[in-house]
Amino acid sequence: FFQWIKEASPEELSSKNYNMMLRILGVNGLVDEFWGLVDVMKKKGHGLSANVRDKVGEKFQKDGLESDLVRLRKLFASDCLDNSAENVCDRVCKIVMKEEWGDDVEKRVRDLNVEFKSDLVKMIVESLDVEPRKALLFFRWIDESGLFKHDEKTYNAMAKVLGKVKFLDRFQNIVVEE
């Protein structure tokens, strides 16, 4: 059932949904499925809850799965926080702001290996508002690269960034393109 929902409406699954499924998989001894879902969840920017860590950790310990227990603790201690939307936004903005836009910047953003969703792209565009040109470069590239298809939220965010007087002509060009 969860797999069907994940495929049919992936945008509707929250961190809480993923954690609930992780708990079910983990406490029922479905270790490979548990780690597979952890990977999917991390790419979507969700973290592991303390409750899941504790319940699944108890099961791993009971079943003598020491390496999985260590991996679970390490995941909770560091990795689960690394792909939060805020941290991904910070990393993308640092990459984009640090260098001139080019293949290297695109590769580094792509190598973050995260799923770009509307709220994340909106957050990145808004955070790049101090450099409207770079915000626009990111905005266009993320769509052209096939990593994300813009929606109302991201267009509105870009409009606000480019809404500054000297960038109005560029915003008008974006509107005309669509």
- What pLDDT, in 10s, does the model give residues 38-90? 888 877 767 777 788 889 999 999 999 999 999 888 877 765 455 677 778 88
Predicted TM-score of the model (pTM)? 0.54
pLDDT at res. 163: 81
Q: Is the separation of the CB atoms in 125 and 90 below 8 Å?
A: no
Q: Is the separation of the CB atoms in 135 and 103 below 8 Å?
A: no
Q: Is the separation of the CB atoms in 37 and 22 below 8 Å?
A: yes
64: left (phi over 0), alpha (psi -120 to 50) or beta: left
pLDDT at res. 165: 53
Helix or strand holding residue 59 (H, E): helix 50-62
Number of Cβ within a 10 Å radius of residue 46: 22
pLDDT at res. 166: 64
Q: Is the separation of the CB atoms in 34 and 22 below 8 Å?
A: yes
Question: Which parts of the chain register pLDDT below 50?
Answer: 80
